[in-house]
Amino acid sequence: MERLKNPKLIAALVVAVLAVIVFFQNRAPVELKVLMLGTLSTDLATAMILAFAAGLVTGFLAFSRWQSQRQKAKATGTP
């Protein structure tokens, strides 16, 4: 119960629930052009989930790189 008092966790849960609702409301089939190599037929919800996942991975990688550079600078004493 103590974890539910964390505002970041609550915000993440709200965003996740809203994302799932939007994904399920967009089930129309679409064709995606993939880097001018070809087309991919899928439903809009799957395309949105893949884009969302790509954004999460990109954000995680950028944050981990920033955090490691910050720790390295802290260890060497440079700001």
Q: What is the pLDDT of residue 57?
A: 93
- Quick check: is 72 in a domain? no
Distance CA 53, CA 38 (A): 22
β-strands 38-43, 29-34 pairing = antiparallel
- Per the structure, the count of domains in the chain is 1
The pLDDT tens digits for 14-68 are 988 998 898 888 889 999 888 888 998 999 988 888 888 899 899 999 988 888 8
- Quick check: is 50 in a domain? yes
pTM above 0.75, yes or no: no
Domain hosting residue 29, numbered range = 2-62
Q: What is the pLDDT of residue 78?
A: 60
**Residue 20 contacts residue 10 (beta carbons within 8 Å):** no
CB-based contacts of 4: which residues, under 8 Å, 6+ apart? 10
Q: Is the per-residue pLDDT at 2 higher than 70?
A: no
